[in-house]
Amino acid sequence: MSLRTSYTLLAPIYDRMVAAATQAARRASLARLPADARQVLLVGAGTGLDFPLLPAGPQYTAIDLTPAMLDRARPRAAARPELAIELRSGDALALDFADASFDAVILHLIVAVVPDAARALAESARVLRPGGRVLLYDKFLRPGQSAPLRRLLSPLLGRIASRTDVVLEHHLPPTLRVLEDEASLAGGWFRRVLLERV
């Protein structure tokens, strides 16, 4: 099943599955958005669960691969008229933006979803200005972590929605360095990570 097909099917129930459980972690991640950021890219914006938590000021560009998810994001964008949010169809693995276009990139629950985590991170780094930040929140194993249940479930869950065996450190491009890394949600199944473009 393709990613677009899977998330088209999940779109009607996605918010019920993840909205309440992830709100606090999203808020904590977005608190690290640089105050001077003017151009911000949300990759894999989904149904727009981050939109109610975004600070006013920057120009936001929100992309998602799945039209059904973007359809559900539009009312959330409209509910924040004080924000400048442009919604666009887009692929995390092939961002349709010039190099160094953004001050910050938000990657919430997308890196473990896409089929090529390294490429998604490299693309985000490419469109980020030097010194820009990546706000990352997802399910990541730590290097050397055994996590047999997560590794067992990953092939199945990866076909439906999201992998559970991604080790972030194995996919980071050399142009991104870790500034902060905190366990978040479900006993550390999830991590909030702040990266900087060097």
Q: What does the pLDDT profile of the chain (198 residues) look like in tens digits?
A: 687 887 888 788 889 988 999 999 999 999 999 999 999 999 999 999 999 999 999 999 999 999 999 999 999 999 999 999 999 999 999 999 999 999 999 999 999 999 999 999 999 999 999 999 999 999 988 887 776 555 655 554 555 567 778 899 999 999 999 999 999 866 677 999 999 999
| 145 touches 128 (CB < 8 A) | no
Residue given tokens 């933006």 in the structure block: 97
Taken in order of first residue, the domains within the chain and their CATH numbers are 3-197 (3.40.50.150)
pTM (2 d.p.): 0.92
The Cα–Cα gap between 14 and 33 comes to 25
pLDDT recorded at residue 157: 52
CA distance 162 to 137: 13
Angle between helices 67-78 and 3-30 (to 10 degrees): 30
Residue 187 DSSP code: G
CB-CB contact of 85 with 77 (8 Å): yes
